[in-house]
Homo-oligomer: A and B are copies of this chain.
Amino acid sequence: MELTTAEENYLKAIYHLSEEGKKSVSTNDIAASIQTKPASVSDMLRKLGEKEVIQYRKYYGLQITELGKRLALQTIRKHRLWEVFLVDKLHFAWDEVHEVAEQLEHIQSTLLIERLDAYLNYPKFDPHGDPIPDEYGDVRSRPRIALNEMNIDQGGQIVAVKDSSAAFLRYLDKVGAYIGARIKVLDKVEFDGSVEILVDQKKTLFMSKDVASNILVLQS
């Protein structure tokens, strides 16, 4: 069973939206997430239903199937491996990889992905801290908490970002909040949810709730 590039993109979007814990994934959500029109989504849902990667009853909603999950995770695996390649080997900045990986993830060759994985030394996380599924679709995820939800005096290590937009990533570069940085919450402002943190025991940083909620921390 092989999917087209468009089908892979839809399925990936559906998988991501499903994982976000929402009760169910709406046609509009999908349309927004892949920048297309709801009418196109309806059409594609019917096709994905026929291919049995989702269970779909019109107007009722959809559910991704086990087969669908497996295929989505394969695409995600490829996407993230290519991101590691671009950053580690070709020295792309972490905000420059997304578009290219979006294309590379659709290259069809199991040998290629096996070899790439080995070449990169079987990485477990991509440049944004997201876990790379293994070839069977198993994901080893770490328990993570959004920075804005930590309490004062708690410490930890930045392990991932929720938002991978170039604007956000470049902002993090600028303020020195990189993946792997050790942080500690110094203060929280009740009023607007902004936080003050200590980075690597030397630099203090203020950030809005909006920013903090997009930074994921492994608590220590």
Report which A residues bind B (CB closer than 8 A): 86, 89-92, 96, 99-100, 103-104, 107-109, 111-112, 115-116, 119
Contacts and interface: CB of A to CB of B under 8 A. Distances in A.
A105 to B, nearest CB: 11
A93 to B, nearest CB: 10
Contacts of A104: 107
Nearest to A96: B111
How many copies of this chain?
2
Contacts of A112: 86, 90, 100
Contact of A89 (B107, B108, B119): B119
B115 A91 contact: yes
Contacts of A119: 89-90
A111 B98 CA distance: 13
